[in-house]
Amino acid sequence: MADSTALPTLLKALRLPTMAEQWETLQGEALQANWGFSDYLAALCEQELAERESRRLDRHLKQSQLPLGKTLRAFDFEACPNLNPATLGQLAGDVGWVERAENLLIFGPSGVGKTHLAAAIGHGLIDKGKRVYFTPTTALVQQLQTAKRELRLPEALAKLDKYHLLILDDIGYVKKSEGETSVLFELIAHRYETGSLLITSNHPFSQWDAIFADEMMTVAAIDRVVHHATIIEIQAESYRKRTSMQRRAAMT
Ligand code: ADP
Ligand code: MG
């Protein structure tokens, strides 16, 4: 007969911290409600799994650097009549496109919700178990440039492989200078058909030659990005402007 006083130690050794914490409380409930042994064990296992899942979500959310609160639920689709909520719902809730390493491009003028929607899709995919990393494109480009100078660009690119989706916010803010552009191109080439990119931009493709060093690189980058991609164009008034005007109107 095993010794139940050893249970906390045994459970910890098996890396089951929630079971170690809950077994006694749940035993009380089980006795009261007359559960069978296997029901009790199943309930304990369920608690361990639920706790593990919630820790995983927390960890992935933190690592993603996604802006908090920017969810689809918080998005007012009435302000963007040309957007189909179902399309966005599918991109946020259906992991198929990410598993196929497809890309998503969100274009539109400033303040119309590009970053918000990109983040909302990221949140949705994390909930579905995918790994996501959100970054202003300029910040990532700077990191990659440093890595390149230190001759560790391949490692830096490989480190991003663990993310199923990389959100490059505001690609148009990257301005061409030899170094910058080539690391951005190398990133795009590296992700091609192996990992998804979600890119937001104020500028349509016609102005991407301001980002990349020369026309050939611009064409090659666009080619790879759009090969398997969904493109969403937001036509709306700036939400920032709209809300500040509404506030002003309410005050007068
Ligand atoms: P963009 O990236 O296109 O410049 P943002 O996504 O940063 O725009 O949006 C600007 C601000 O307005 C953010 O605080 C965002 O949450 C909010 N916003 C924009 N569009 C909407 C919308 N349709 N519904 C709710 N909030 C919105
Ligand atoms: Mg933005």
166 φ, ψ to 5°?
A: -110, 120
Q: Which residue has the tokens 């990191």?
A: 143
C-alpha 78 to ligand 1 mean position (Å)? 13
pLDDT band at 179 (very low <50, low <70, confident <90, very high): low
Q: Which of 206, 199, 236 is nearest to 110 (CA)?
A: 236
Over residues 23-51, the mean pLDDT reads 96
Indicate the pTM of the whole model: 0.89
The answer, yes or no, to whether residue 237 has pLDDT greater than 90, is no
Which domains, from first to last, does the chain contain?
Answer: 4-64 (no CATH), 77-241 (3.40.50.300)
Q: What is the pLDDT of residue 180?
A: 67
C-alpha 116 to ligand 2 mean position (Å)? 7
Over residues 231-246, the mean pLDDT reads 87
Q: What is the pLDDT of residue 176?
A: 79
C-alpha 110 to ligand 2 mean position (Å)? 7
Looking at ligand 1, which residue's alpha carbon is closest to its atom 11?
Answer: 240
Is the C-beta atom of 181 inside 6 A of ligand 1?
A: no
Beta carbons within 10 angstroms of residue 147's beta carbon = 17
- For residue 149, the SS3 value is helix
Give the ranges where the chain is alpha helix by DSSP (H).
7-13, 17-33, 37-64, 85-93, 96-99, 114-127, 137-149, 153-159, 178-191, 215-227, 239-251
